[in-house]
Structure 1
Amino acid sequence: MDIFYASMISLLFVVVSFALHLAFYKSNAAVKGKLPPGKKGWLVIGETLEFLAAARNGHPERFIFDRMARFSSQVFRTSLILEDVVVFCGSAGNKFLFSNEDKLVRAWRVSSLDKIFQINQIPKTEYIKLKKALSNFLLPEALHRYVPVMDLVTQKHFKNEWEDKNEIVVTCELTSNLTLWLACKVFLSIDEPERVKHLSVPFKSVARGMFSLPIDLPGTLFRGGINAAKFIRKELAAVIKQRKTDLINAKGAPIQDLLSQLLLVTDEDGNKWTESNIANKIMGMVVASHENMSSVCAFVVKYLAEFPEVYQGVYTEQMEIANSKELGELLNWNDISKMKYSWNVVCEVLRLVPPTQASFREAVTDFVYNGYSIPKGWKLYWSAVSTHKNPEYFADPEKFDPSRFDGKAPAPYTFIPFGGGHHICPGKEYARLQILMFMHHLVRKFKWEKVVPEEKIIANPFPLPAMGLPIRLCPHQT
């Protein structure tokens, strides 16, 4: 059952349970000051149906821009997923939210995500420790050593799943397999393709359940996410136990992956994090990197198929790098730094179809923004599309044009595919590595064409071509 119709069924249960959920609704009469313009929509369910429908139809910006035109181009209110929500728009809204984290606002997650990962609000001290551990692992200087490792995995992936296969392949299936394999290798040192495939379906179920309504009934996406998370948690627990045993017995050289970093983290009392805590954090990292980057790689394939001149520019750049290498020599960090045009193409893909299209914050105190009162406890929503597809910031915003990023940076707070502020995605450099490596091997080996010319884009929950982007491969003659 796809995410849209499953969500509609879940909403029916919410309506039936109206009395139980009235407590989530705040009374405007109790709020001091003037609220932002907008409307709550239907009783209890608010405007959630319209919100989901816009994403389902591949145009999440329509929900935002329609209300910006009707109410305010800066800020408006609505009601989503049983919460009063204020939507901040434009570069000014992004700047305000990103600059006031841990002052006026803090990160907030939908309850379905907390329940699937068995976590509540992460204490600030624990978040700081997690961010430090991730920084130690994901900063460019730390990732240098992983370039050859990731290159080798990517080469194996193309040999196993692209070469000598049927003429038509389904892109999303293959990019999903690659990004999960890379995440398992880099984060956990798991390098067995069959073991990775064993985890692929549960990880997809977790991703779909994370942003579903928290209705814990058989057949719902939420229940599927909970069950899949239990399975993954059990698998990760076994990996963590084995790693601890290997460290105690000092078997071989120490493994420098994300798991090793997290095994060293301690709490305020000097105690190391529990296996369950580590498993949940790694599961979150794998889901985020795997699903997000699978989506980006798929859209890279889509746009390169649609714009032959862009494909040719990427091909020329990547062949220059390939021709500078000795036979069998793996890519290194210097090679990645030469992929400037290819990265411009990726940035334009990220502008048009950002994998994480928005995020929530929560007001930790009453405050005033743009003349409107924002009550404590209300949820605050920023959306990348309010700037990415806004002609005020990007001329002819629907046009695919990598030259936008050629030698000049967009205005501050307008290009935010990785978020911003304290909670900017820590894995953006890792993301850059895997996408560029994927492009390097893809264009060197193939040209291709889309099988479905006007394939619809949906969010499930990450944006993807509705049919998985089937393409017809044409291998280069060697």
Structure 2
Amino acid sequence: MENASWVVSFPYLLFSIAFPLIIYAIFFKNGRSNLPPGSNGWPIIGETIHFFISGPDKFISDRMKKHSTQVFRTSFVGQKVVVFCGPGGNKFVFNNTQNNVLSLWFPPTLAKIVRLEQDFMHRISASPGASQLLNHTFHEILKTDSLKLFISIFNEITRDHVKNEWKDGREVKVFPLSNLFCFSVACRFLMGISDTDEIKTLASSFDEVKSGFFSVPIDLPGTTFRRAINAGKIVNERVSKIIQRRRKDLQESENEPGLDLLSQVLKIAPGDTNEESQYNSDLRSIIVGILLASTSSPASAITFTLKYLTEMPHIHNQVYQEQMEITKSKGEEDYLTWDDLKKMEYTWNVVREVLRVMTPFILGGFREVKSDLTYAGFTIPKGWKVLWTTQTSHKDPKYFENPEEFNPSRFKSSIHEPYSYVPFGGGRGICPGRDFFKLYMLIFIHNIVTKFKLEKLDPNEGIKYQMTPFPVNGFPVRLVHR
């Protein structure tokens, strides 16, 4: 009888379980049927593993072919992400940030490594008070008139670096040296630090931090992610001490503060001595964030610019001739001037082409959807994340003829499809540091190209991706004095 009762009741039990699931599936389908095409991948981890294995360039291009060339959805470590593609996607994201449609957002892995609060980006963009002051001062110090004051400093840093680290007849690795140079410039510009040992110590911790951004986010002893978290703690502690030290120096000195960002900010608003105050926390976060942004991409750009110059003699010769024309017009010890930099048109076009071909130098940028929005006929729900990217337009033959060909001459004309060339963002989202980047890129390239010829030592060297692409072995070369 018990078995008969079970047989009779089983259909009712099955129905009681299945019916709510059917209703939920119908509701979910109807409520979410207008989502962009794509896949959420595995529960929790989403398509994170595919992203790590294939790399961002291939991951995105494969899904554009499979799903849509305009927009597709994916998932990274519990985050539902919609990738916007091409100039249309770039324009929408750039011009709808901070206007109740999209807000700046950073991945939780980044927040955990460098101790950023999720509302930090909102505060520096929209809130009154200290955070807005920090953001405003940063933008002011990056304006052209302010940057002109830094030219002599950039010249000095570059000459010292080349003299100490790039020596005739040596075999060197370009990427680590370029990374050290960019970090030295950033430390001087942001915090007024010029001590080589202090810079190298801080740079070592930053390298560990960067290695964790695209690692599997498993917080266990011995993992890359755990090492990055520990390095992030060290970075924050050291930057906090630098802030306190600089505040004390300014209070005890009657001299005018330096030109660096930290001095200028503390001059206007000294803040208090509590290291964990909101003001000091935001100041530390801005400095750490800018240090990260102003070292990885420029170091890669320098490395790959020099790499292309060694591999393409016809392009190298044009850069060399342009730089030597400037050298011949100056005294041996004269620094480069603003007018000299404006003459480096071909050299800058080479750099621009490097930023286009070697995508993604910067993967792009994340935003959070503040309220349900519609794009390309699809609905993107509130709370989802949006990712704009560079390679979806940089590698598209509709916007750049023969996109795989390295051709600096394509930039002789400044006429390109709006929002198709976006290594520095665009519209409201354009990077305020683009002129800063151009300034020290050109000064550095001038000092290397006019002094050395680089002989490539590893013809089969591959490329890896961390925050940005970089040669697997650091691009080893032999320096031959001219």
Q: Output the TM-score relative to the length of structure 2.
A: 0.87
Identity score, percent = 40
Equivalence for 2:306: 301
Is the aligned partner of 1:66 residue 2:67? no
Q: Give the alignment partner of residue 146 of structure 1, picking from 147, 150, 155.
A: 150
Equivalence for 1:116: 113
Contact 1:188 1:257 in 2 (8 A): yes
Contact 1:233 1:276 in 2 (8 A): no
Equivalence for 1:427: 433
| Corresponding residue SS for 1:179 | helix
> 5 Å matches for 1:44-443?
44-55=44-55, 60-103=56-99, 104-118=101-115, 119-122=117-120, 123=123, 124-125=126-127, 128-164=132-168, 166=170, 168-264=171-267, 274-354=279-359, 355-443=361-449
Contact 1:448 1:474 in 2 (8 A): yes
Counterparts in 2 of 1:341 and 1:244: CA distance versus 1, 3 Å = same
The amino acid that maps onto 1:470 is P
The amino acid that maps onto 1:36 is P
The Cα shift of 1:46 comes to 1.8
Counterparts in 2 of 1:226 and 1:30: CA distance versus 1, 3 Å = farther
Task: Give CA deviations for 1:331-362 in whole Å, capped at 9, x if unaligned.
Answer: 12111111111100000001012421222111
The Cα shift of 1:30 comes to 7.6
The amino acid that maps onto 2:369 is A
Contact 1:112 1:213 in 2 (8 A): no
| Corresponding residue SS for 1:232 | helix
The Cα shift of 1:375 comes to 0.7
The Cα shift of 1:101 comes to 0.9
Contact 1:266 1:273 in 2 (8 A): no
CA distance in 2, matches of 1:217, 1:260: 39
Q: Bigger CA drift: 386-395 or 245-254?
A: 245-254
The amino acid that maps onto 2:119 is Q
CA distance in 2, matches of 1:473, 1:28: 63
CA distance in 2, matches of 1:30, 1:129: 46
Counterparts in 2 of 1:349 and 1:184: CA distance versus 1, 3 Å = same
Is the aligned partner of 1:463 residue 2:461? no
Equivalence for 2:23: none
CA distance in 1, matches of 2:89, 2:136: 28
The amino acid that maps onto 2:127 is T
Counterparts in 2 of 1:28 and 1:410: CA distance versus 1, 3 Å = farther
| Corresponding residue SS for 2:415 | coil
| Corresponding residue SS for 1:215 | coil
The Cα shift of 1:163 comes to 1.5
CA distance in 2, matches of 1:30, 1:403: 51
The Cα shift of 1:251 comes to 4.2
Unaligned runs of 5+ residues in structure 2 are: 1-26
Contact 2:102 2:370 in 1 (8 A): yes
Task: Give CA deviations for 1:164-187 in whole Å, capped at 9, x if unaligned.
Answer: 452x21111110111111111121
Q: Which of these two proteins has the greater Rg computed from alpha carbons?
A: 2
Unaligned runs of 5+ residues in structure 1 are: 1-26
The amino acid that maps onto 1:352 is V
| Corresponding residue SS for 2:479 | strand
Q: Output the TM-score relative to the length of structure 1.
A: 0.88
The size of the alignment, in residue pairs, is 444
The amino acid that maps onto 1:105 is L
Equivalence for 1:3: none
The Cα shift of 1:283 comes to 1.4
Contact 1:81 1:213 in 2 (8 A): no
CA distance in 2, matches of 1:273, 1:422: 27
The Cα shift of 1:148 comes to 0.9
Counterparts in 2 of 1:373 and 1:321: CA distance versus 1, 3 Å = same
CA distance in 2, matches of 1:64, 1:235: 37
The amino acid that maps onto 2:102 is V
The amino acid that maps onto 1:297 is I
Counterparts in 2 of 1:234 and 1:79: CA distance versus 1, 3 Å = closer
The Cα shift of 1:225 comes to 2.2
